[in-house]
Amino acid sequence: MTDPKSELFDQFARIGKVLASRSRLLLLDLLTQGEKPVETLAEQAGLSVPNASNHLRELRTASLVRTRRDGQQIYYRLANPSVRKLLRSLQDVAYENLAEVRELVSDFYEDPDGLEAIDLETLNRRVQKGDVIVLDVRPDDEYAAGHIAGAVSIPIGELEQRLQELPPGREVVAYCRGPYCLYSRQAVERLRSHGLRAYRMEEGVAEWAQRGLPVSAGEPSLN
């Protein structure tokens, strides 16, 4: 006789098995920022296109991602918001229970000068007052998919060459993909090395949107 509970937990185990891969977790993390084609995912994850395609196939088999076709191009996206919540829960559980994770976060993700990151509500109040520049240092495709309303887009790889685009004398708050993304910390280090007052936002666009705070979409405006 079939044991329904055993069958159910077999299905739960399918998700755990698919998640037991650094590359697949990284691909899911990238997809929390919006829909992407496989070529972009491969480049941003540091994988070959065939390797990324294989991992994405596994994620799709487990119904964690979905696809759409536009001509010859196939785009991937998270299946639903629960997948993003699952990924964040996994990260938070690892942080709470693994000393190695906490040590890595302390060494590489905390503010370079030991100052607290700016939380979402504080940043929103300062944005409303107009006394801060919000800087999105993610790749252009992620900014286009959704960004904090009014944020300036300068991808981290272009920051040194485009510092002159930031108004002098204004405080800058940089953000990237969320609490486990290094781009905002790197941006703060570079901005401060050039004498700017800079801080990082505590979380990412997804958390900002969840609070009902204003989000926009579309390509960066050209100067």
Active site residues: 176
DSSP state of 158: G
The pTM of the whole model exceeds 0.85: yes
CATH number, span 111-216: 3.40.250.10
What pLDDT is stored for residue 167 in this prediction?
84
CA distance 109 to 102: 10
For residue 29, give the nearest of 51, 14, 53, 45 by alpha carbon.
45
pLDDT band at 116; cut points 50, 70, 90:
low
4-84 sits in which CATH class? mainly alpha
What pLDDT is stored for residue 106 in this prediction?
81
The model's pLDDT over 169-193, given as tens digits with 9 standing for 90+, comes to 889 999 999 888 889 989 999 999 9
What's the whole-number average pLDDT of the chain? Answer: 91
Per-residue pLDDT, averaged over 149-163, amounts to 95
Q: What are phi and psi for residue 20, nearest 5 degrees?
A: -80, 55
CA distance 155 to 142: 10
User: Domain extents for the chain?
Assistant: 4-84, 111-216
pLDDT band at 114; cut points 50, 70, 90:
low
Per-residue pLDDT, averaged over 141-154, amounts to 95
Helix and strand totals (H; E) in the chain: 10, 9
The model's pLDDT over 21-66, given as tens digits with 9 standing for 90+, comes to 999 999 999 999 999 999 999 999 999 999 999 999 999 999 999 9
What pLDDT is stored for residue 156 in this prediction?
96
CA distance 187 to 199: 9
